[in-house]
Structure 1
Amino acid sequence: MSDFSAYALRNSKERGARTSSGYGMLALAAVLLAGTIWIGFQIGTWPDWMAAVGIGIGSIAVLFVAAGFYLLQPNQAAAILLFGDYQGSDRNTGLRWAWPWLTKQKISVRIHNITSERLKVNDLRGNPIEIASNVVWRVADTAMALFDVDDYKEFVNIQIESAVRAIGSRYPYDEFEDDKITLRGNADIVSDEIKAELQDRVALAGVSIEECRLTHLAYASEIAQAMLRRQQAEAVVAARAKLVEGAVGMVEMALEQLSEKQVVELDDERRAAMVSNLMVVLCSERDTQPVVNSGSLYQ
């Protein structure tokens, strides 16, 4: 038998507990208390042994009923145990009652919100990055959360770190060579993958992951400056390419209009010189200073 199969045989599963509303038992306790007090007033008219027995039985009955009360707030559950054996979970709110020999172990099923610490992870290309995620989760199965893991909150915290590390190392931080998915460019996809990865990991604890979103993503400090210069260089190259593309179009348009309107006839050498001058003027980052030719075109 495999390890997983052996674990599956021990796996807990939430089921409803046999409990009742506490308000009816509260009325019964009030009646028993009133009867015990009434018996106390009969001392002197009843035989002493009979009054003592009545008071004793009434007191024990009141204490017995009172020992079974417990309260459940909204989004709170109680696991009912009989000498350590799981009997079921009660999710009904308000005043509840169960047999006094049953143990009631309360657990919150409210929404929990955790922001992981900033983890240093190597991305797909080996670059160290810092990544953190915010996770919204809740307990879906109280029996699994209480009895299948030692501390379900600590278990979730550890699995969040493991899932973030696993997904953070699966993709590159930024697009270098036509990467389809990157951590910076596809944050929603990465967050959904972290959620799916985390849900698989915490399913053993009966926990449901409601939402997962990246809260921090950056290069590690030791390479941040180098990567910033690389990004700046890429931006400069992209801007230059756009500028050259526009300048070539403008030069082409200028030569075509000069030729169509027969403003001036240029041979190949002067045409090349004019193209060079126009490209310098259009692509220069500084204002150009024109030189006026007072002689002929070929001087």
Structure 2
Amino acid sequence: MSAASIPTAPQQQARRRPAHREGSPAATAFRYVALIVGVVIMVTPFVYMVSTSFQAQAYVLTLPPQFIPNPATTANYLQAITSQNFLLYFGNSLIVAVAATAISVLVSSMMAFAFARFSFRGKELLFRILIAGLTIPAVMLLIPQFVLAKNWGLLDSLPGLIVFYVAGSLALNTFLLRGFLASVPGELDQAMQVDGAGAWTRYWRLSLPLARPALATATIFTFLSCWDEFPLALTMISTPERRTLPLAIAAFQGANATQWGLVFAASLIAVVPVIIVFLVFQRYFVQGLTAGAVKG
């Protein structure tokens, strides 16, 4: 046997050392049980909500609860869509949420780009004041927002909701986007400056494409907050035709307090846009992570 074929001491130790240390069977079983219990606790209310929405009123409060409706019916969905201007309220919420999300993400990305790339007097102070707004509970701002909306002529209007939804989401979105844009190598920005690119070109053609993961996250958060918002809309909107979907569902539940199948059907219809937005922007989020890498 040649000397080259004799394994050295480190090689012998590497062979004796297990490649991966598995946990004990008891610990593995405990993890699986804990995960299953957590999933059941989280999913059961939603499954019961879906099941109840397909049940007639006579079968809603049966014991034990029926997770598989028998007989199943779509009457609750048809009644929810065709009664009490539900589609009008759905459209109002869609207009407000989409407009507020688009404006908020655009403006906050500009602000984040300025905080991340420019140097100006009072930059850190302004950013800290902006972040300090995140510590104030939204409920405490209802009265000041109501007074401002009244003085500016924005009370009882969808544009008024859009203005305050944008203002309420700018701080968080700017915080998220600034951290991401600050991590982009400055050499790329300087290279574009050498080529004669101005600030807008660097923002639009460099920063935004690389910030797709952060933009997707900001879009999802903003749309969810605008779509589900209830206290401010309840405070500002008084005309029934200008109600958003959360207000409509609350009034719907008040008018049909015992018709839980009808209420759950309306709530599930309201969940559909949220699921669509999450699925669409999750795809862009993953794409941005894989395609937005920068080689140093």
- Shorter-normalised TM-score: what interval? under 0.3
Task: Please give the TM-score of this superposition, normalised by the length of structure 1.
Answer: 0.25
The structure with the largest strand share of the pair is: 1
Q: Which has the higher helix share?
A: 2
Q: TM-score, normalised by structure 2?
A: 0.25
Larger-gyration structure (1/2)? 1
